[in-house]
Chain A
Amino acid sequence: MPRVLLIEDDPSVREGVELGLRRRGHEVRSAATGEAGLAALGEFRPDLLLLDLMLPGMNGVQVCRRVRESSQLPIIMLTARGDDFDVVVGLEAGADDYIVKPARTEVIEARIRAVLRRIEDFAQGPGGGQGRAAVEVHGELAIDRAGLAVTKSGRQLALAPSELKLLLHLSAAPEQVFSRQQLLEHVWEHGYHADARLVDACVRRLRNKIEDEDGAPRYIQTLRGFGYRFGPL
């Protein structure tokens, strides 16, 4: 069962979420501040971080950036809808998904499972993984579907779970256009009415890591009004 670290300053939310998740079999550790949460990361070694955006002192976005500096740990933010700006900032900082408070435990758990779902499922993507080479080469990118690793010009890239899933999904069907809603469903397993900003933020982060510094995106191209596609190179 997944090990979840919860960073949340409000005691009732902290206890409620912890209780709910534990009843569903998760191993939960919680911290009341960002600093305490970062300290707990090392020794608890969670599979996933549940992070409240509004924290006293060091806020959730800062915590998120700090974690992303050194690890690709899946991060889900707890937020309130309407703090729209915060959501975007949090996603830009490297969060993989977010949950609007108040939320039922079943919703929280569904999001956790979606983020943690074995990435191999996505490696099989549209078109299937059968008959593919172990390592696909697209321009300077080498995508190892079995080993779940991506290198650019021989250099290993550190991709967060959502970024890796997105790349695997898009590259499994080169030149096919996926709408944001399709990506939300397949990569994030969100319902149809989910937030397309998740996709946009993730695409931006992924581009920062795989595209060349200058000029137009090569690998992940935007089709105005339709969505995104991988290639053509």
Chain B
Amino acid sequence: MISRARTAAFGLRVRLVLAFLLVAAVSAGTTAALTYREARNALLETAQDTAVTSFRDQIQLMGFGLPIQSEGLGDALREIARKGKPHPWVVFAEYGSIRASSGTSPVSTVITPELRRSAAANPNGAFQRVVKDGVPYLTIGMPTVFKAGPGGVLPSRLVMYAVMRMTDEQLNVDALVTAARDGALPGLAIALVPALLAARSVLRPVRELRQAARSMGSGRLDTRIRVRGSDELAELARTFNESAGELERSVEELRQAEERARRFASDVSHELRTPLAGMLAVTEVLDEEAGSLDPDTAKAVRLVSTETGKLAVLVEDLMEISRFDARAAELNTDEVDAAEAIRKTLENRHWTGERGVRTELPDGTRARLDPRRFDLVVANLVGNALRHGGTPVTVRLRTEARSDGVPVLVTEVADSGPGISPEVLPHIFDRFYKADAARTRSAGSGLGLAITLENVRLHGGTVRAGNQPGGGAVFTVEIPLRAEEAEG
């Protein structure tokens, strides 16, 4: 199935599962992200607040005397550095051109100019989170004030800075992320189960529908689907069943009508056969006696005799056609020499020699044929060629490989007449088709080519009509050399 290959890549199941997973992933991701953000902020803020408050307290406890001297400043800074909360910190002081720190280098590389600016502008200090070389730091800047008498403070130009590594918080946050990830993946895996279940609950009815449709297509019109539940798919199944029922009914009606028409044709021809058998048995008597009767009576008698003969042919043809229609036609094959068979057909009908039927029949071509039916086919085509075409009529026989590689026996009957007009060609094998509107009744029954077509089909072959480039009609019969391979 081509369509299967196409739908399999992005079928309903895959799309449903993907949709489910996407929803699950989005919800898990959103939840995790929100949780992460909140938790991270809470963690960091707690740490920040603690750090900023304790730093401020430490500075206030310290109290700095003026003028600032760098010797004492170092000790003071180290004093503050011991009291870092929640983590150890390194303390820096900046006063004009004086730089001091509790650490090894007097100037921090982590403190940014922005912090310096905002710390100088903000009496309550400022802080900033900085990530340097993959390590997160909290930096705090705090301007100091001097007590100038009771209740008065004066800002000094001394700004204190604390730099604190926030690795623990980072670890906590990382743990959060890991937890979110580890929770999300099993969550997605678990989401697969309802996704597959949902896909199955949708797909099973769909698959049943497809199988049912295919089964209907192959002619089993009594196919029905089990309706489960009352959802849209059940509704679909119900609709399908109703439509199938309707279709079955109308096809059944058509079939019955066709069957009646067939039976009628068959019954009529059967009924006609008996009186004809009696009439045909005595036509000879009429023909013999006609000579001794007065002209009018003789004419009438001859007419009855002639028309009885034609009627017998017509009824025989009608019965043949109704047997084809009822698929009751049997193929009684025998292995025969095709050239020999055609020669016999022409001989039996006295179409040899002076009647102008030329033959190109290579000997030794053996084929499985129904000799009686093949005889009828050749006789009908040659008879038509002699009647409607023009002499010489040529019958050619050859074998060749059909386009699908099947070896076929090709029989060609060509005449030298005016050919078949284009508007007649498509209908030439129709029953009772009048190729010539002026000719009210053909010499034959009007069923000859229709029967020929059916006879060839019964052999699994084809027959087609056309015109030769040089003028004249040509009928080509192709019959598979091994008739067992024929279908139907």
Contacts and interface: CB of A to CB of B under 8 A. Distances in A.
Residue with the greatest number of chain A CB neighbours at <10 A, chosen from B276, B278, B330: B278
A194 interface: yes
B372 interface: yes
A11 to B, nearest CB: 8
A114 to B, nearest CB: 15
A70 to B, nearest CB: 29
Interface in A183-211: 191-197
A147 interface: no
Contacts of B309: 104
A194 B278 CA distance: 23
B348 A16 contact: no
Nearest to B379: A193
Contacts of A194: 371-372
Contact of A19 (B281, B334, B366): B281
Contacts of A196: 332, 334, 371
B345 A101 contact: no
Interface string B125-151: 000000000000000000000000000
B364 to A, nearest CB: 14
A193 B281 CA distance: 23
Nearest to B375: A193
A104 B283 contact: yes
Interface string A86-112: 000000000000000111111010000
B382 interface: no
A81 B284 CA distance: 23
A12 to B, nearest CB: 3
Interface residues of A, number: 35
B309 to A, nearest CB: 8
Contacts of A78: 277
Interface string B349-377: 00000000000000000101001101110
A103 B279 CA distance: 9
B377 to A, nearest CB: 10
B470 interface: no
B323 A102 contact: no
A145 interface: no
A102 B334 contact: no
Contacts of A192: 341, 344-345, 347-348, 371, 375
Contact of B335 (A10, A81, A197, A225): A225
A16 B281 contact: yes
A225 to B, nearest CB: 4
Given A19-B285, A101-B273, A192-B345, 10 more contacts: A10-B277, A16-B282, A20-B284, A101-B274, A102-B315, A103-B281, A104-B284, A191-B344, A193-B375, A193-B376
B332 A197 contact: yes
Contacts of A16: 277-282
A82 B266 CA distance: 11
B305 to A, nearest CB: 10
Contacts of B345: 192-193
Contact of B276 (A102, A105, A193): A102
Contacts of A195: 332, 372
17 contacts: A13-B274, A13-B281, A15-B278, A16-B278, A16-B280, A17-B277, A20-B282, A23-B285, A81-B316, A82-B328, A102-B277, A104-B309, A179-B335, A192-B341, A192-B371, A193-B375, A193-B376
Contacts of A173: none
Contact of B282 (A11, A19, A81, A225): A19
| A-B residue pairs, 5 tightest by C-beta | A12-B278, A193-B375, A192-B344, A16-B281, A16-B278
Nearest to A11: B278
A232 B88 CA distance: 120
B371 A17 contact: no
Main secondary structure of the interface of B (DSSP, over half): helix
A179 B376 CA distance: 20
B336 A181 contact: yes
Interface in B299-334: 309, 312, 315-316, 319-320, 323, 328, 330, 332, 334
A54 B97 CA distance: 137
Given A82-B319, A194-B372, A103 B284 contact: no
Contact of A13 (B278, B371, B372): B278
A180 interface: yes
Contact of A193 (B274, B284, B344, B366): B344
What band does the interface of chain B fall in when counting residues whose beta carbon is under 8 Å from A?
35 or more
A225 B371 CA distance: 13
A108 B281 contact: yes
Given A181-B334, A196-B371, A82 B344 contact: no
Residue with the greatest number of chain A CB neighbours at <10 A, chosen from B316, B345, B347: B316
A97 to B, nearest CB: 15
A101 B320 CA distance: 13
A225 B279 CA distance: 41
Contacts of B217: none
B275 interface: yes
B348 A193 contact: yes
A13 B330 CA distance: 27
Interface in A23-78: 23, 78
Contacts of A197: 332
B37 interface: no
Contact of A181 (B281, B312, B371): B371
A208 B332 CA distance: 23
A110 to B, nearest CB: 13
Contacts of B372: 193-195
Contacts of B226: none
A80 interface: yes
A120 interface: no
B270 interface: yes
A118 to B, nearest CB: 25
A11 B279 CA distance: 11
Contact of B323 (A20, A82, A103, A108): A82
A222 to B, nearest CB: 12
A81 B319 contact: yes
B284 A105 contact: yes
A123 B102 CA distance: 142
